[in-house]
Structure 1
């Protein structure tokens, strides 16, 4: 696929605040869990750029290859993800597929059982920001690859 638009170049005034909000959203949440959530949202949104970035960042945060590979089937991968991680992943799916059934009370209650109000607010913000980045990168056809874990995005694409 050919890149349609360099978001960072075309709209730097939008790019910097999104990066700042993404950084703020991650505060107080385990970095490995943040990466799992970002990978899962990116899988659901078919964002190859973000999948590439966040699988690399997940490895850097200590995530195993096995758990990264099984993430697409986390519900069936019994014993690989904690109850807390499963609650976060369920919330990720509900927010990402918002039009399917909004965010069901059971999904929200499950997450609220594992995260205090501040953590839950941050988790919802991480999921929301990841969905925003996915949509921007998919629409712009940001090219995959070339991004080192934790590095800033290349000048021709948008980071998430």
Structure 2
């Protein structure tokens, strides 16, 4: 069965969540929260939200898009930069060089079906982040991908999040 969007405003209710995985395996949830906190340590919050939004766009995780877009807006990110993320390669002027390198690395790490992370992508990020920052950035990309996979596979419903909840 495929999820076909409808024009009905109640479309989300037609695609119910599959399971409450957080309730079923709370230790995995708590461990993932700890890993998330550890991964993002020392990285710029604005950059991290852009990375999380971009990975969530690629993975089609509406639940995570809801969370990270709202968190970014609440911390002062512009609507314009969030909207342009899906076309960041054509909208490079909205982002810093570090953000561009992080977005490019996010795509390479998220879409591994395209092959390995290309050397030029890794090297561009390595030139702009010190080794520890780069390790944290990669860890953060890996963690958001884990959250996305839980969100998509269990059909977490977007729309109920308020910034500051987690």
**What TM-score comes out, normalization by structure 2 length?**
0.90
* CA shift for structure 1 position 145: 1.3
Q: Where in structure 2 are there 5+ consecutive unaligned residues?
A: 1-14
Say how many residue pairs are matched. Answer: 152
CA radius of gyration, larger in: 2
The SS at the match of 1:79 is: helix
* Cα deviation code 1:38-66 (max 9, x no counterpart): 00000000000000000001112221000
1:61 corresponds in structure 2 to 75
* CA shift for structure 1 position 150: 2.9
* CA shift for structure 1 position 4: 0.3
* CA shift for structure 1 position 149: 1.2
Q: Of the two structures, which has the highest relative contact order with CA contacts closer than 8 Å and spacing of 6 or more? A: 1
CA distance, structure 2, for counterparts of residue 111 and residue 148 of structure 1: 32
Q: In angstroms, what is the RMSD of aligned CA positions?
A: 0.7
2:133 corresponds in structure 1 to 119
The SS at the match of 2:93 is: coil
**What TM-score comes out, normalization by structure 1 length?**
0.93
* CA shift for structure 1 position 79: 1.1
CA distance, structure 1, for counterparts of residue 62 and residue 164 of structure 2: 17
Q: Where in structure 1 are there 5+ consecutive unaligned residues?
A: 153-160
The SS at the match of 1:41 is: helix
